[in-house]
Structure 1
Amino acid sequence: MRSLLRTLCLTMLTALSMTGTTALAAADTKLAPLTIYHIEGRRSERLVWLCEEIGRPYQLEYKRGNIVGSMATIREISPLMPVAPTVRYGDLVMVESGAIIELILAREGGQGLVPPVDSADYAYYLQWMHFAEGSFASRVIADYRVEMLNVQKPNLGYKLVDSEAVLKFADAFLAKNPYFGGSNFSAADIMMLFPTNFAAGMNVVDLAEFPNVATWKQKVESRPAYKKMLEVARPDGLVGSPKPLPKKE
């Protein structure tokens, strides 16, 4: 009897010593089915990249080379908010790539893509996870649209939001840290690459002026999981991307 009680106590102490996400992952190793509804070259790439990084099974749904067809599929799943990504995670239907990434990593374990909560890196990891869309993407897309109007109608005189200030902020951080998650590659880097590529690809900014961001971009795009994402989620390159701005002289 004493031996049984001792075994039970040790088991309980071991479980209590685990972090919440680790204990959850250990308690339920059966992963919820995940379907990613995708459009080539859109933010849904983040979910594919994440799954490839952590070896997480997923089903990818899109019509190759057919943005209208891919969007029609998404509308069937999420008619009130048809965006890419839309995912079916178990019984849930969700949008917002950052929220989906955080949910998967919280429920299934950080898989090395989340710094320890008590580490110095964790605060910056959270900052860049949310900065990617909240400050970065919003400014870059606004500047792209404003500059495109200025190109089409030069006399309108619309003012830019100033994407360059955002890149300066990011470049200064990367001067002291190899990744946006701090010391190691993390989900924050997955979040930050999309607006970086949009800014550079649409000629909103010149990455040559931000060498730390350029070096980081090359480094994360060389990862095997990123290359695998391109293979399965963007087999024909960018499909139906917006027209780039004229390059600044």
Structure 2
Amino acid sequence: MEFTTESESNYNDLDKMSIHDILTNINKEDATVANSVSKSLPQIEKLATIATERMKKGGRLFYIGAGTSGRLGVLDASECPPTFGVPFDWVVGIIAGGDTAIRKAVENAEDDYNQAWLDLQEFAINEDDVVVGIAASGTTPYVIGGLESANKNGIVTGCIVCNSGSPVAAVAQYPVEIVVGPEFVSGSTRMKSGTAQKMALNMLSTTVMIQLGRVKGNKMVDMQLTNNKLFSRGIRMIMADTGATQEEAAQLLEQFGNVRKAIENYQHH
């Protein structure tokens, strides 16, 4: 089967191009990605809907993937606690080859059909949870095996892939297929495919978190205040929401350590 992600670049002689032309052509390709994602919105909506339902019942969201796809899952998962103030085990990113593989490619890790399910079992995965396999090619054995085992154990499965008609999408109950076409460097799926996956993951986790009540209006009221910039942002949110002075807002934030709680505990004098 011929997959788009492996197809030859629309550009030849990259090594003879000027820096200006390389950048212009990469940008031209990147500009098409959001449009490709828009065609998959109905699929993303179905996955976000079931993920929200499960998480409202106390389930968790798991991402499994190898290489770039695995790293993007880890990235999205690791950004949920600071952004939305949720426990670190609500959204979990698992990469083939373990955390070492985030920095350094682990040989043959993606070819192990049984390992993803073993990795998931370390988190006592159960039928309240949702497992999303991320694989640009849609052929990664690590991801296929993980999704098949999840299905057998009555766990909801989804995927984000960049080919149509792939084995991963065939296994997933809620497949998301974003076909971005040939990469600028033939087969380099960290480029457009990676960008498409990043967009889809952002959409999925943000939508679910808003649905779970972790955003107020348009503000991250549950964010962790881990640096001065975020503390100042928190003060501005409290002032805007309550009409408190800067001094009052700062005092409330010191006291409660959380924007939402500060706003709830503000008494107008």
Shared fold per TM-score greater than 0.5: no
